[in-house]
C-alpha cells in the first residue's frame, strides 16, 4: 500500500497538535541537558540510559507525525462494490455515498472513514482503519516516554549522587528546579490522560474480538485477540507492532471471520 497523505485544515487541531509537539520538544531538549548528560559525565548512569531515552522520543514523535498525516481510511467517491459484498454496504445519510458497514462520517473532515474510531484533535486527524495502529503506537510510546521522564526527575533528586559541577553560567542549570518541576507536571498530566485513552482503545479492540462471535450461528468461533490485533497493525509479526517506520498491509481475514471484520 502506497503512502497516502491526509491533511486536515482545522485551526483547533493545529493548536492541540502544536501543544503536544511543544511538550515533546521541551522534554527532549531539557531532560538530557539537565539530567542525562551531566550524570553520564560523572559516571552515575551509562550511555544506554541516554540511548533509550532518545529512542523512545524518536518513536514517539514518529508515530505522532505519521498518525497525523496518514490517510485514516477515506472512502473514494465512486467505490466499486463487488456483488457478493453489497449486503455489507450502506448509504451515508450525510454525504450520500455508499460505505462499508462500521464506517462513519466525520463532520470535521467532511467524509466517511472506514472503521472510524473517533476524530482526535491531538493528532488533527481521524483515527480509522489505516492509521489506528499508529495511534496505538503513539499512546504506547507516550506512556513510556512520560514514565521515563518522571522516573528521571525522581532519581535526579532522590537517588542519583549530587552533581559536582556547578555550571551556573548555563541557563538550564540556573533554572534547574523550575525546569524539572514543569517537566514533572506535564509528565503527570500526559501520563494520566494517555493511560486512560490507551486503556479504552485496548478495551475497544478486545470488545470487537468478543463481538465477532455470531450469536445467531453458535458454530462460528470467536475471533482470537491475536487475529484482531494483527488486522489492526497489518502484520502477524508481533515485533512489527511496535515499529512506526513501515507500511501497513491489510490482512485477509479467515473465511469464518470474513463477515465480522
- Catalytic residue list: 120
DSSP letter (8 states) at residue 252: P
* C-alpha to C-alpha distance for 147 and 178, rounded to whole angstroms: 19
Which of 232, 182, 186, 183 lies closest to 206, judged by CA?
232
Where residue 151 falls (left for φ over 0; alpha for ψ -120 to 50; beta otherwise) is alpha
Cell numbers placing 46:
551509562
Contact 217, 197 (CB under 8 A): no
Which of 132, 129, 144, 135 lies closest to 58, judged by CA?
144
Q: Which residue in this structure is represented by grid cell 507516550?
A: 142
Which of 9, 14, 63, 56 lies closest to 31, judged by CA?
56
Strands (E), 64-221: 89-91, 98-100, 104-106, 111-113, 118-120, 125-127
* C-alpha to C-alpha distance for 85 and 67, rounded to whole angstroms: 29
Q: Which residue in this structure is represented by grid cell 503527570?
A: 188
In terms of Cβ atoms closer than 10 Å to its own Cβ (0-12, 13-18, 19+), residue 241 is middle
* C-alpha to C-alpha distance for 211 and 208, rounded to whole angstroms: 5
Tally the C-alpha atoms within 13 A of residue 163's C-alpha that lie toward its C-beta: 19
Amino acid at each position: 500500500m502506497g503512502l497516502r497523505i491526509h491533511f486536515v485544515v482545522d485551526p483547533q487541531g493545529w493548536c492541540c497538535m502544536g501543544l503536544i509537539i511543544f511538550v515533546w520538544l521541551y522534554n527532549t531538549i531539557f531532560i538530557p541537558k539537565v539530567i542525562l548528560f551531566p550524570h553520564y559525565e560523572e559516571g552515575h548512569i551509562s550511555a544506554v540510559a541516554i540511548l533509550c531515552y532518545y529512542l523512545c522520543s524518536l518513536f514517539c514523535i514518529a508515530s505522532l507525525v505519521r498518525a497525523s498525516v496518514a490517510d485514516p481510511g477515506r472512502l473514494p467517491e465512486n467505490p466499486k462494490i463487488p456483488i457478493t459484498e453489497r449486503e455489507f454496504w450502506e448509504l451515508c445519510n450525510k454525504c450520500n455515498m455508499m460505505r462499508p458497514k462500521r464506517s462513519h462520517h466525520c463532520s470535521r473532515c467532511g467524509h466517511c472513514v472506514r472503521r472510524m474510531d473517533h476524530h482526535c484533535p491531538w493528532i488533527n486527524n481521524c483515527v480509522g482503519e489505516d492509521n489506528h495502529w499508529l495511534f496505538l503506537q503513539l499512546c504506547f510510546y507516550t506512556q513510556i516516554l512520560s514514565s521515563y521522564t518522571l522516573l528521571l526527575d525522581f532519581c535526579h533528586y532522590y537517588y542519583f549522587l549530587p552533581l559536582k559541577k556547578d555550571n551556573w553560567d548555563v541557563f538550564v542549570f540556573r533554572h534547574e528546579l523550575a525546569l524539572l518541576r514543569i517537566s514533572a507536571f506535564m509528565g503527570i498530566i500526559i501520563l494520566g490522560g494517555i493511560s486512560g485513552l490507551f486503556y479504552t482503545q485496548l478495551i475497544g479492540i478486545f470488545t470487537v474480538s468478543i463481538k465477532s462471535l455470531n450469536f445467531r450461528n453458535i458454530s462460528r468461533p470467536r475471533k482470537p485477540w491475536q487475529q484482531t490485533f494483527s488486522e489492526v497493525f497489518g502484520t502477524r509479526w508481533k515485533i512489527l507492532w511496535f515499529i512506526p517506520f513501515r507500511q501497513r498491509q491489510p490482512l485477509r481475514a479467515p473465511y469464518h471471520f470474513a463477515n465480522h471484520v
